[in-house]
Chain A
């Protein structure tokens, strides 16, 4: 049974870069799935950030595209999110999820990132 676990700093300074990793266990990141990032600001709705295939192909939210990079590390069976030039508006719970045939069917528990000096 595939499980996902997000990790990374819980506090990032304004104008800095947010970096998170999602570790995949119980399955291979090289399987025929996409792997995605979703975030949820406090008290607000879900926002789709982007996704990556094990080949390295990516799709990004147009509103975040200039600041987002998603990468995959097959040797460690994990994928990562980098979001640059962060502001308080990037404060959120960040989730990683597996996308199988269009469905986000497995989610991590989420990790809270606060942007503050």
Chain B
């Protein structure tokens, strides 16, 4: 079945920029969504439709897309951004959803 691949971990110092990639063959055809999950909590949407930011999400979160890869960028990382991040999309026909493998962001 369809898979979305993310790096297992990203480490960044406070104030620096974190970039998390998500790769999948159907990404040129299907939108990507990004979710932040902190321990013991349900996921929270931080980016939708590749690059749109929901209300209430800080401007330091942004998304972009290029071919089969989408990227979540966190500019000026803060300690509170330490969390797991998952991309989510659909297969090429839009029949079923899929989550990426997840990336743990550590703020040094």
Query: Contacts A48-B99, A102-B33, A104-B88 given: A61-B42 contact, CB under 8 Å?
Result: no
**Is the CB–CB distance between A110 and B42 below 8 Å?**
yes
Interface string of B42-75 (1 = CB under 8 A from A): 1111001100001000000000000000000000
What band does the interface of chain A fall in when counting residues whose beta carbon is under 8 Å from B? 20 to 34
Interface residues of B in 16-41 (CB under 8 A from A): 31, 33, 35, 37
Query: Contacts A51-B97, A59-B96, A104-B88 given: A46-B43 contact, CB under 8 Å?
Result: yes
For the complex, give the distance between the alpha carbons of A95 and B42 in Å. Answer: 8
For the complex, give the distance between the alpha carbons of A60 and B95 in Å. Answer: 8
Chain B residues within 8 Å of A62, by CB:
1, 96
Residues of B at under 8 Å CB distance from A?
1, 31, 33, 35, 37, 42-45, 48-49, 54, 84, 86, 88, 90, 95-102
